[in-house]
Structure 1
Amino acid sequence: GAGKRFVHEALRLNHETQILNVETLRLVHDIQILDHDIQILNHETLRLVHDIQILDHETQILNVETLIFVHEALRLNHGIQILTVEVQILVHKVQILKVYIQILKGEVQKPLDQVLIAWLLNATPNWMLLICYSTTH
């Protein structure tokens, strides 16, 4: 009796151990699959990080190019402003020369013209005054 019961119990325990072994192997297999999935996710994450770094670098390049473009536009605008002022100066000089020609022809009349001549003396470079003086005297 007791030996038979012992053998029966041993066989039952052995059977449960085999079941546990199979379940353990299944768990190990599941863990290996999960580990593989994690490695794939890590690889994809690294690729995304790399893509983000490339995009960041391209953004920095675009920022620099935009700054260069803005700087060039400001420089051109400044040049245009200088040219505008130079044209205004030339127009002013032409007006002064026209009045000098009128003075030389004796077409200037008083008294308003004396104010004009005084203004011209203040607004005119010395070389123009010398020309005017040498032509009239």
Structure 2
Amino acid sequence: MENRVDMQKSLEQLEGFEWPAPPADTTGLVKAAHNLRKRPIGSLNAHELGRLIGQDIGLPWLLPIALNVLRETVADQRLTGFYDDDLLTAVLTRKSNVWRSHPQLAADLKEIIPLLEDTSPYIQENIQEFLTQAET
């Protein structure tokens, strides 16, 4: 995984291929994913990152960005009580092979987890599952 990625490029540009247009009767999520793949990755917000990551789209490029967003917003949780659980859940619930393929990203996530406070029981379950998978 490359640390220096051109944030002005889209996933289509980074991956080197365009997806065919989705069928007209497809779901909103599929349409959104197709559209988000065309946008510069540096312009994606936490919600959009979570949508793509949750569908295992563009992980080599998007996971590092998502981890930066999570790291940068930990202080917001302490100040406002709000944290982007959707993005955190999308990141935590990737399959173990993703973390085995990218051990530095797993290590980065392990550094972020102890900084979180007052996470919901659902997030705690996801954290435990991630930590178990990351150890195997």
Give the TM-score taking structure 2 as reference length: 0.27
Larger Rg: 1
Query: Which structure carries more helix by proportion?
Result: 1
TM-score (norm 1): 0.27
